Amino acid sequence: MRTQMATEAGTSTKPSDDRVLLGPNLLVVLDGVTEKAGSGCMHGVPWFADQLSAAIMRFVHLEPGPALKEALRHTAELHAGTCDLGHPGTPGAAVALVQIQDDRLRYLVLGDATVVVDTKQDLLVVSGTGAAAANPDAVDDALVGELALQDVRRLAILTDGAARAVDMFGLFDWPKALDLMASSGPDDLIRRMRQVEKEDAKAVDWPRDKVFDDATVVFFERKLS
């Protein structure tokens, strides 16, 4: 098994709100929801993304859904006393998590992130909605699934700022995107996408809120026996 990761902030003036966790059996990508003027939180999105990342590591002995629920509960407790967690702008994150345990691969997507799994039979593309914020019950809306590890050839996890290479710009389809990552690495996908974004710097050809967004890709491949 081999894992590669690439991440790049959308601008040089603001640190990325994306986070990546890699363990021997764990691949996680988080994308902090862009900060709004009012949030009811004195800490901010980067703090939330850091705390939630740490809490996911703490609870990852559980299956993905329960792990994320406990991580959200724990993170909420860290600032329930100082912040208004009922505020609609309370910090949140998109989370995509892949866990490998024994002969099973489990995934969870909550929010605008994408997991692409290339199996021996077909290609699974999972993109979520919503966000992981203060309420652990949001995890009930996550997209979850489970596959036999032996059927998995390779997979990618992308924040929306990277998935737009395929689902907005149409630079390649998903199989070709995976081929590119396998041959040139996930950083090549981001590099090629940035080139397109630069050429459309006024967001005319591809209308979008963020001309450049934080972009993160984790790419994993198994050697088939």
Figure out which of the listed residues 5, 9, 43, 153 binds Zn ion, where binding follows CB under 5 A. Answer: 43
# of chain residues touching Zn ion (CB under 5 A)? 4
* Contacts of 49-55 spanning 24+ positions with Cβ under 8 A: 49/17, 49/18, 49/19, 49/91, 49/93, 50/19, 51/75, 51/78, 52/19, 52/93, 52/95, 52/132, 53/19, 53/21, 53/28
Q: Which is nearer to Zn ion, 37 or 201 (CB)?
A: 37
Give whole-number Cα distances, 20 to 137, 146, 158, 188, in Å.
23, 21, 10, 18
Kindly give the interhelix angle for 160-167 and 186-199, rounded to the nearest 10 degrees: 70
The residues in 166-195 that bind Zn ion, with binding defined as CB under 5 A, are none
The CB-side HSE value for 125 (13 A sphere, CA atoms) comes to 10
Q: Which is nearer to Zn ion, 35 or 63 (CB)?
A: 35
19 part of the interface to Zn ion, by CB under 5 A: no
Figure out which of the listed residues 29, 41, 93, 177 binds Zn ion, where binding follows CB under 5 A. Answer: 41
Q: Tell me which residue of 151, 111, 112 sits closest to 132, measured CA to CA.
A: 111
Q: Which is nearer to Zn ion, 41 or 218 (CB)?
A: 41
Least Cβ distance, residue 205 to Zn ion (angstroms): 39
Least Cβ distance, residue 169 to Zn ion (angstroms): 35
83 part of the interface to Zn ion, by CB under 5 A: yes
Least Cβ distance, residue 150 to Zn ion (angstroms): 43
Q: Which is nearer to Zn ion, 83 or 166 (CB)?
A: 83
By the criterion CB under 5 A, which residues form the site for Zn ion? 41, 43, 79, 83
